[in-house]
Structure 1
Amino acid sequence: MKPIQKEDLNQEIFDIYDEYVHSKINRRDFVNRLSVYAVGGLTVSSIMGFLLPNYAAAKRYTMEDDRLFSEYVEYDSPKGAGKMRGLLTRPAGQTGKLPGVLVVHENRGLNPYIEDTAHQAALDGFIAFAPDALTPFGGYPGTDDEGRTMQATRDREEMLQDFIAGYEMLVKHEGCTGKVGVVGFCFGGWISNMMAARIPELPASVPFYGGQASAEDVPGINAALQLHFAELDTRVNEGWPAYEEALKANNKNYEVHFYPGVNHGFHNHSTPRYDKEAAELAWGRTIAFFRDMLK
């Protein structure tokens, strides 16, 4: 049987997948709804196998990459979760201090894609830190399904405080200039918006297709924002007009980019929602933004 290609699947399948990965439907409903599309040589199992992340094939960097100095470090949770853990990575051989980037994962813990993103930020000239909100459960469990289930049991406000504490740890790190920005994806996009509202000294925040801060939170934003949205991501995008109205009303510094014809998660190179052109453009904009704002 010919391998499935992205163009073999219609948009409804990607929309169903989006509902599943954001816990709007359970696995049984996911399978049942996909069965409608199991025609013309497609099977439910083959569709699922194509949609779900393939980290082994997509992994770009390892802890042993000689271009990087990478380690897992711990820091204290301010909300009683004990020690938190995350990936700290920076260019190998770096002697001077670098600006920092906090990388915030999706709704499933510190998976290999987010680790790759932190490593890429380091290769782009930053000291990057990617905390794992699943540390209280032993960390990312190895599969996204288990990770989502685990993360759903944690309080969002407590996780936000844990990421803020990770930011504060990076600001004080001996290898950091003290200038730190945040980039986050999906759930991490919401965290990025909320960190902008909660941390008065935050210089820059880059949410990728993340839930927006409330209008009541917007006055507290001092950070410059660069926001990235996928055209086909109607679930997240419906909150943008009200958010933009609040940003404008409060004279906030922001820029926004919409990427045509792509889905939520287009930056994630481990799933078929990945769009190479849009992902590279968005990441290039992100790095240029941080280089400008974290001087």
Structure 2
Amino acid sequence: MTIEVKQQSQPSTSQRPIPQEAFDWYDEYAHGLINRREFMTRLSGLVALGMTMSTLTAALMPNYAQAEQVSFNDPDIHASYVKFNSPKGHGECQGYLAKPSKLEGVAPVVLVIHENRGLNPYIKDVARRLAQQGFVAFAPDGLYPLGGYPGNDDEGREMQKSMDKSKLEEDFLAAAAFLKAHELSNGKLGAVGFCYGGYIVNMLAATIPEQLNAGVPFYGTPADPSLQRNVKGPLSLQFGSLDKRVNATWPDYEKILKSNNADYEAYIYEGANHGFHNDSTGRYVEETAELAWKRTLAFFNKHLTS
């Protein structure tokens, strides 16, 4: 099943002066299509038109102080770092486990998968948000074999880019198996991921379709075409209408899902950019992000708690 929702979202005041091409350039830069010098050169053209570089960079670059919706000191949750083994990947790996502090017995579990830059503060906060809603959330740090998320996204992107792609994917497959079998798990596994993490959710849905009980890829590209015929769902796919790069992959992927008779729903939010859920940058649109997150929680409650 496909559901396309046109959610009219108005950007915040801080976003309105920023031309759409600046967001498009940031997406190209963040995904390695242009280097930092080219990105800054393009922005300087907007400075020449009367905008300040500080306004542009403040709107485009992450400010993780804005991304903490649930404090790591929140008494309703307990968070810690936990190691797991990835024998086909990088061996010893580590992730951030967040659970309700008053949990008794077992609960549904959700794997939280970061973007192409490691386990940054925004992704850890997403894990805490899930724990606050009664889930046991686990957010692996794909960069752990290289020392972990370095504290800034630019270096994190370069580190992740240097890693063996297949081994990194094996690490997330191992994390999924670890979490599903965890002593706190009720046996139902969900996964939510953003950007690269959205791709990983699609990869999990194609690689371990029987083990993944619910997947929510936010603006993620599909798995390798050789695997897509395996996808059964349930999936709840989230897209921003302005995300040309990712959206170009959706029509063909949707055809595969339909031919598979997969259980899926898809939401396309009008006026939203790639990364619209990430509240640390100017791409964030609160109304759209909250709606997408409300749907994500409802989807997990439907498929992981019954």
Q: TM-score normalized by structure 2? A: 0.92
* Aligned residue in 1 for 2:172: 163
* Aligned residue in 2 for 1:288: 298
Asked if residue 219 in structure 1 is aligned to residue 250 in structure 2, the reply is no
* Aligned residue in 1 for 2:265: 255
CA offsets 1:44-64 (integer angstroms, 9 cap, x no match): 244123310001233223332
Length, aligned pairs only: 292
* Aligned residue in 2 for 1:16: 25
Q: Choose the corresponding residue for 2:289, options 265, 269, 279.
A: 279
In the alignment, residue 300 of structure 2 is paired with which amino acid? F
Q: Choose the corresponding residue for 1:142, options 151, 155, 166.
A: 151
* Aligned residue in 1 for 2:10: none
Asked if residue 236 in structure 1 is aligned to residue 246 in structure 2, the reply is yes
Q: Choose the corresponding residue for 1:133, options 134, 137, 142.
A: 142
- Tell me, yes or no, if the aligned pair for 1:213 and 1:243 is still in contact at 8 Å: no
1:73-152 counterparts in 2 under 5 A?
73-152=82-161
Q: Choose the corresponding residue for 2:198, options 186, 189, 192.
A: 189
Task: State the superposition RMSD in angstroms.
Answer: 1.3
In the alignment, residue 245 of structure 2 is paired with which amino acid? R
Aligned sequence identity (%): 51
Q: Choose the corresponding residue for 1:172, options 175, 181, 187.
A: 181
* Aligned residue in 2 for 1:43: 52
Consecutive unaligned residues of structure 1, counting only runs of 5 or more, are: none
Q: Distance in 2 between matches of 1:57 and 1:201?
A: 35
Q: TM-score normalized by structure 1? A: 0.95
Give the 4+ runs in structure 1 shifted more than 4 A.
none
| Range that drifts further, 171-180 or 190-199 | 171-180
- Tell me, yes or no, if the aligned pair for 2:114 and 2:139 is still in contact at 8 Å: yes
* Aligned residue in 2 for 1:54: 63
Deviation at 1:217, TM superposition (A): 1.4
Deviation at 1:251, TM superposition (A): 1.0
- Tell me, yes or no, if the aligned pair for 1:171 and 1:179 is still in contact at 8 Å: yes
CA offsets 1:164-198 (integer angstroms, 9 cap, x no match): 11111111111111111111100000000000011
- Tell me, yes or no, if the aligned pair for 1:63 and 1:71 is still in contact at 8 Å: no
| Range that drifts further, 23-32 or 52-61 | 52-61
> Looking at both structures, which has the greater relative contact order when contacts are Cα pairs under 8 Å and sequence separation is at least 6?
2
- Tell me, yes or no, if the aligned pair for 2:89 and 2:171 is still in contact at 8 Å: no
Q: Distance in 2 between matches of 1:221 and 1:41?
A: 49
CA offsets 1:100-123 (integer angstroms, 9 cap, x no match): 000000000000000010100111
| Range that drifts further, 67-76 or 39-48 | 39-48
